[in-house]
Amino acid sequence: MTAQRIDGAAIAAEIKAEVAARVAALRAGGKTPGLAAVLVGDDPASISYVTSKARACEELGIFSETFHLAATTTQDEVLGLIGQLNTDERFDAVLPQLPMPPQIDEQLVIDSLDPRKDVDGLHPVNLGKLLRGQLDGAIPCTPNGVMELLARTGNDPAGKHVVVVGRSTLVGRPLAVLLSNKAKGANATVTICHTGTRELGRHTREADIVVMAAGHPRTLTADMVREGAVVIDVGTNRIEDATRERGWRLVGDADYRAVREVASWITPVPGGVGPMTIAMLLVNTVRAAERAAAGGAFPA
């Protein structure tokens, strides 16, 4: 068996086309969705990511602006900017790009956001709504992207055993909640594994779906996967590669070449989950704009 490759870029393009139609409807009614990105410092990966988001916004007709602050910016200055953006009607969504320099308390920055403008879904109000099964707020982008990949490839997790490797607030924990919700496209039995899990392979071999979000290259090997399982690889790891001009390449948390000979479906790295994260950020931005156009409050 050779797994079918899940083309995240193609699925992301489908979602962007759907978002573009919603943007057009908003603009026709006099509302242009707006996204503000707050970038502190000069981390190359963050700059690349924010640039990609800005380009995607431009393509879809979303107004975006990046507020690029020096690496020496103080926490009070960042919080002051967030406060201004919370009340700036040009912006329906605000993205504090992480990571930030060590003098900045990232959690405090997230907590200071207006939860209606929290495009990453990390504010306590939005995470709390997620835990309660209320999905009208912003849903964390990467977990929501994983859910879309499963849905759009016909891999309904209902009644299946899903093993999520990773327990971060960004991916692992919110994804486990989404998968276990009593809702269409969910209803899975979920096991969360992490660095404290003993005999990881014993758990992954029992899974119908394995989601790797550990941040360690090639952690999942072929002998750790049940034949016919679905493997979603969230990991993006840079490893040395002397054959590449830049001296490195990106790999996932799964040993792709080996695991694809056992799995039924698998996401590549790059080109799998990555494009979905930006697509779902656009979805959250438009949802926030639609909510603002309707009066600004969360639905009852």
User: Of 214, 210, 55, 52, nearest to 146 (Cα)?
Assistant: 210
Known active-site residue 120: yes
Cα(76)–Cα(248) distance, integer angstroms: 37
On the CB side of 183, CA atoms within 13 Å amount to 15
Cα(260)–Cα(268) distance, integer angstroms: 10
Of 16, 53, 129, 160, which one is the catalytic site residue? 53
Q: How many C-beta neighbours within 10 Å does residue 182 have?
A: 7
Would you give the end-to-end CA distance of the chain in angstroms? Answer: 48
**DSSP code of residue 116:** G
Cα(79)–Cα(112) distance, integer angstroms: 7
Of 16, 92, 97, 117, which one is the catalytic site residue? 97
Asked if 36 contacts 50 with a C-beta cutoff of 8 angstroms, the reply is no
Of 92, 114, 118, 120, which one is the catalytic site residue? 120
User: Of 241, 230, 235, 190, nearest to 217 (Cα)?
Assistant: 235
Known active-site residue 53: yes
Asked if 258 contacts 222 with a C-beta cutoff of 8 angstroms, the reply is yes
Residues in CB range of 36: below 8 A, 6 or more apart: 64, 65, 66, 67, 85, 88, 90, 91, 93, 94, 95
Q: Degrees (nearest 5) of the Cα angle 188, 193, 197? A: 145
Catalytic residues: 53, 97, 120
